[in-house]
Chain A
Amino acid sequence: MGPHADKQRWGARVVVLVPYLWLALFFLAPFVIVLKISLSQAALAQPPYLPVLDLAAGWAGLKEFVAQLSADSFRLLASDTIYLLSYFKSLEVAAVSTAILVLIGYPVAYGITRTPRAWQPLLVMAIILPFWTSFLIRVYAWINILQRDGLLNDVIMRLHVIDAPVAWLSSDTAIYIGMVYSYLPFMVLPLYATLEKVDESLLEAAADLGCPRWKTFWLVTFPLSLPGLAAGALLSFIPIIGEFVIPDLLGGSETLMIGQTLWTEFFSNRDWPVASAIAIALLMLLLVPILFYERLQQRSLEGKR
């Protein structure tokens, strides 16, 4: 083998270790800390929680640390209905938004694959471009349109559809519009990528065997697009559950989504343990869909290699 091969192997190790360690430190490790904080108690101190792990105190310090841990925050979550309602609200909004995204996103993605090849990259760019302008800006743009004295009311009043301005903002409708608007590229892109790969000869074979166009779509194209559809759905559903900005700016104050609840607990109530508990519970809730998404990605990675 010799020194050259060893050098190569060390080089490979460095390449793996650098991103690995970064992610382990800044992505994985923090979750452990969140778990720990969720088991702590709020305190008027800096940092605002107890107990604080003092490694200098040695084994005794550790024992005292564990003794002071409590599941109070979790008990609070389970007992106070406001939290449960937030979780349900989030699930509801995510489910409905994802459904709307599929209904709107699929025709758009499919439509792009039917246009001439030369246009497709441009159209895909056109879908992505708004995404690269500020998320906040785009939500803000909808405020412009949906507010009481905003454009939508102005237009439909001028068309005499209604007499008095409707409160579009501060409603679930506004939230749905905002969600669909912001997550549309996440649905369209993976779906387009999968649809685009469907081999043309498969479509010809289906036609040759007796399928008119709609049947070819339903029996061949659609089943083959399911992985892309699943990816798009998960890329929308999971983050939407934890969304904060959209419900905060466009929604009303009746029911909060879980992202808002977490934000409030943290910034307004300064209750770090409860906020952490909310985060842990949310993570548990999302574990299954996240693992499902991971499986999907692994399978497509294997397929390519």
Chain B
Amino acid sequence: MQRGASHFNIASVALGLAFLYLPIGILVIFSFNASRLVTIWGGWSLTWYRELLHDDAVLQAAWISLRVAALSATAATILGTLAAVVLARMGRFRGRLLFSGMIYAPLVMPEVITGLSLLLLFVAFNVDRGFWTIVIAHTTLTMCFVTVIVQSRLVDFDRDLEEAAMDLGCPPFKTFLTITLPLIAPAIAAGWMLAFSLSLDDLVIASFTTGPGATTLPIRIYSEVRMGVKPEINAVCTIMIAVVALGTIAASLMVKRGVVRRERAALGAQV
């Protein structure tokens, strides 16, 4: 009965989405603008993309960013899933309060603080800053996001399935691997994607924890942007948007199909 959306409701959602997508849309369109200036439309052109291909610095930075993101996302997903299991499945234990505190704090902590503190840690232990320090830093930050997503899925998970498996003779750890994990895979995948995007996107923490030869794409873009708007930046941004959008769509399609297959298999395993 209450499902009717009023005009106000529809307008709010539409305006909200327009607000979110308008600047991105403009950016994408103007990456194809032959003219340098934003206010003059010089016709469709791929000039800036061509320029981009010759810009070694940017391409290098993009490659580094991708590798950092992939590594840190994977590490964050593993650690984050473990933490989620702890929070969702293990009852009270000594230090639980501190543990959950450490999980939720990075979600709200300003990045300048975490960036600074990590850098000072590396300096104190005489660790050379560069590629790997960024990876460690990103892992630490993004694992908390993974935990939140996976934990909320675990809490909603139907425990009956796990109990049925154990009743049929499957030890708890194996139950987790063969029954629970496959069925919460979409949440884990979503966590990985989020960690990947956060890492790809991060400027502040990367700036603090980077070293020679480890310039990430955001650092590169930032230094260019400070000097004014350059159309090549529009081009690289458009490419990044395209990659993330296609990646998200591909991932969600894959996950959907995978989930259906696994759910059928999981049901079959219990019959």
Contacts and interface: CB of A to CB of B under 8 A. Distances in A.
Contacts of B17: 123, 126-127
B104 A129 contact: no
Nearest to A150: B38
A246 to B, nearest CB: 11
Interface string A157-188: 00000000000000000000000010010001
B155 interface: yes
Interface in B230-260: 233-234, 237, 240-241, 244-245, 248, 252
Contact of B116 (A15, A114, A279): A279
B212 interface: no
A37 B112 contact: no
Interface stretch (B6-14, B42-50, B51-59, B177-185): B6-14
A282 B15 CA distance: 35
Given A108-B16, A140-B27, A262-B112, A132 B218 contact: no
A137 B93 contact: no
A26 B121 contact: yes
Interface string B192-222: 0110010011111001100000000010011
A235 interface: yes
Interface residues of A, number: 98
B26 interface: yes
B155 A184 contact: no
Contacts of A244: 111-112, 204
Contact of A293 (B19, B82, B104, B234): B104
B105 A290 contact: yes
Nearest to B225: A140
A129 B245 contact: yes
B20 A184 contact: yes
Contacts of B13: 108, 111-112, 115, 123
B201 A134 contact: yes
Determine the interface band of chain B, counting residues with CB < 8 A from chain A: 35 or more
Contacts of A305: 88, 155
Interface string B118-145: 1011011000000000001101100100
B2 interface: yes
A239 B19 contact: no
B85 interface: yes
Nearest to A147: B229
Contacts of B27: 137, 140-141, 144
Contacts of A239: 108-111
Contacts of A142: 23
Contacts of A243: 110
Most buried by B among A26, A129, A282, A304: A26
Nearest to B96: A16
B164 to A, nearest CB: 19
B90 A12 contact: yes
A266 interface: yes
B12 A130 contact: no
Contact of A181 (B1, B23, B79, B245): B23
Given A19-B147, A282-B110, A282-B112, 10 more contacts: A15-B85, A47-B124, A107-B16, A111-B10, A116-B3, A131-B197, A133-B201, A154-B38, A200-B2, A245-B222
Interface of A: 8, 11-12, 15-16, 18-20, 22-24, 26-31, 33-34, 37, 47, 104-105, 107-108, 110-112, 114-117, 123, 125-127, 129-138, 140-145, 147, 149-151, 153-154, 181, 184, 188, 200, 203-204, 207, 213, 216, 234-235, 238-239, 241-245, 249, 259, 262-263, 266-267, 272, 275-276, 279, 282-283, 286, 289-290, 293-294, 297-298, 301, 304-305
21 contacts: A12-B90, A16-B90, A19-B82, A30-B114, A47-B124, A107-B8, A110-B12, A111-B10, A130-B24, A133-B245, A135-B201, A136-B225, A137-B27, A138-B24, A143-B229, A184-B19, A184-B20, A242-B111, A294-B101, A305-B88, A305-B155
